A and B are shown apart, each in its own frame.
Chain A
């Protein structure tokens, strides 16, 4: 046959080979692949390369508490305690009930004496939930309270169950108020807004935004702070222990949204 000449077969072979190779190459560069390779390098003790692959996976859109937690571990192994604490805390934002980053943060606290806004009592319980979960609870309880009340009042067929429906309505109203209070507490004390982590090893909080100002307190790496005012190269911060002070912007990283370790967002003027 005339179209089955040698050139045609060669070109077809090349095209077929490329068609088979492209997905393979894509797979090698996929976030999941980078994550898996990062795990393998971690096991081999190559923490620096492992961290790079994890960050690559993150930059490609992979966002999971496992990735953040593993990334924190690589920084810990490289004794970059500030970044380690930062990624552990980010893992906890994605999954507040994940026990591993919580335990590693305690290890870190034991090692470098980092400061944190440790929630206590009810706040500690609320900190195990995401804001979206509390909002969902509030919405569901509100609807159930409204629907049980409407059923008790207007559905004649369920009139013998009216007492039960009204009790359920009261219960759901109570849960709604509880959810409102929990959400308010969350937004006041636990929300990620304005929270930041000290990433530098020798950061200090000072009394004023000048280099020679007096020291308020030394901030161990991994310490958690809340930004009160963003003044460009300096940040006015809330420090655990009811303290406030000024710290250089380069010494901290915002907790959320997550950015790779080498891509800190530029300081914004107020």
Chain B
């Protein structure tokens, strides 16, 4: 990961080879800053924080200490901070402006260079500082100064640039978190411009993301001056055994000294190059967590934690929710820390919901720096009670090499019985004792407190069978509709063949229309016989006529169709009584007229 912002601001501070464009932007920002923000920041809360980029420095090396002031500036920044055993000297300051959703906020950082003369643990004391006449106090910060070993192979002055990977300890337990430090060294003062995201791999270790802040410093190695850029991360193993963390790769942009031009203009003509630096590897000896004495509530957390439980409200009715905030603070692996166990699991007394875990990204523990995690949980009392049962967390302390269980104290509560009308309404309604005032009562809701009784009827014995498509009976059953369809199609086919045969016969012996027409007997006793003759007559006319029916005059066509429809109805659709009745005079007259018309048309054709 890169940290262009912090790096850029650092450049401004230390005055190293500032690019012209950056200087112009910085100047404009500084000039415009009072006009844009002063009016809005007046009412905003001022906050002061002390920052230490590295908690560990070697004798002769320098570290960076900063005071961050949000929404304000120090009336006077101290030039020197007095701390026993440490030299802390003011280097410069940097301001930045942020506008978010139209609301501006500003931040000022005051940088100090820290160095130690002798090895040991030192503390930078709490500082009382004035902002617009009001006194604010920072938190104390601890720093370790150590003596670097003379034969430290990872510091190789024969190389113009190199990368070093370090961890404070290599003997660990599974899930024990430990900080990692990745430092780029480039020969020459203020040489490093930018570094990228480190690339580290090990399947048996969880590598936490590296911080965005880059701490820059200078170091003398064998009479050579080196620029250093340091980023910090953390790691924890998940498998026991010897785990090798392979060398890390880090892209770094720095000044190519070979192309530099001397003189006052050198900053304008500075050229940078980008290289991927490769670090040393680290070997960790990872011990498994002991199985003896492991508490039931242990979730894999390794470290040392303390817990604080707050509940709200403390006076309530049964059925009302209680919001529980559990803050866990300490040093260790917060990722493996599960929600504290609620020690009353009786569902009849308390209904619990899943806890939501929040880890403040600014307060993450890397195994050295303490961290904080918050669990928020909702618990509903289902009856009267005078206290909230305690919560419990368990973890493995790598210092004492023992499991530790911490339990909170019960919280006194005042829980009154639930007297809400919804329950009583439902009960009244279920019991049939409604008051009869006409008010609408809620329908009774089912109660799922217990299961239904067993079934004692004669069981329906079944068998595990293949799916329907794989049962022979299924395919056998298809035979019945298949036969039915075959029968229909066969009859249709036979009829078609018969009709075709008749048609062929008819073409050989053409029926004369006039002959058939003369056979239409109006004195027929049954309508069916009469219309049968008419149908034959119409068929003969169609066969004898050269022109199709569509090309005939409309009146003739309409008459033909009407007579044909009546034939179809009488012969195939009419009730038996109609079929056997004699044709009326009107019917015969109409039929005769249409047939005569057809006859004339045939003659003219």
Contact = CB atoms under 8 A, between A and B. Distances in A.
Interface string A87-113: 000000011000010011011111100
Tell me what chain B mostly uses at the interface: helix, strand, loop, or mixed. Answer: loop
A94 B481 contact: no
B484 to A, nearest CB: 6
Nearest to A134: B468
Given A135-B468, A154-B492, A64 B462 contact: yes
Interface in A199-240: 210, 212, 214-215
Interface residues of B, number: 39
A136 interface: yes
A117 interface: no
B300 interface: yes
Given A100-B452, A212-B175, A212-B300, A66 B488 contact: no
Nearest to B453: A73
Given A62-B459, A69-B455, A155 B491 contact: yes
A150 B487 CA distance: 10
A150 B485 contact: yes
A151 B485 CA distance: 9
B484 A73 contact: no
Interface string B321-354: 0000000000000010010000000010000000
B125 interface: no
Contact of A63 (B448, B461, B467, B573): B461
Nearest to A131: B467
Given A62-B459, A64-B462, A150-B488, A69 B495 contact: no
Contacts of B491: 154-155
A111 B451 CA distance: 11
B484 A147 contact: yes
Nearest to B460: A64
A160 B491 CA distance: 18
Given A100-B452, A100-B455, A147-B484, A160 B572 contact: yes
Interface in A96-146: 100, 103-104, 106-111, 131-132, 135-136, 139, 143, 146
Contacts of B492: 150, 153-155
B585 interface: no
Contacts of B464: 63, 257-258
A35 B458 CA distance: 10
Contacts of A70: 454-455
A52 to B, nearest CB: 15
Contacts of A63: 461-464
A153 B485 CA distance: 12
A100 B454 CA distance: 9
A62 B481 contact: no
Nearest to B451: A104
A151 B347 CA distance: 66
Nearest to A107: B448
A100 to B, nearest CB: 5
Contacts of A143: 478, 481
A141 B448 CA distance: 41
Contacts of A210: 238-239
Contact of B452 (A103, A136, A150, A153): A103
A172 to B, nearest CB: 12
B352 to A, nearest CB: 10
A83 interface: no
Given A73-B454, A100-B452, A135-B469, A146 B459 contact: no
14 contacts: A65-B460, A65-B462, A95-B460, A100-B455, A103-B448, A107-B451, A108-B451, A135-B469, A135-B474, A143-B478, A150-B488, A156-B495, A157-B572, A210-B239
Given A66-B455, A212-B174, 19 more contacts: A63-B463, A63-B464, A65-B460, A65-B462, A70-B455, A73-B451, A100-B455, A104-B452, A106-B448, A146-B481, A147-B481, A147-B485, A147-B488, A150-B489, A150-B492, A155-B488, A157-B572, A210-B239, A212-B238
Interface of B: 174-175, 238-239, 300, 335, 338, 347, 448-457, 459-464, 467-469, 474, 478, 481, 484-485, 488-489, 491-492, 495, 572-573
The 8 closest A-B pairs by CB, nearest first: A154-B492, A64-B459, A66-B459, A143-B481, A107-B448, A160-B573, A135-B468, A70-B454
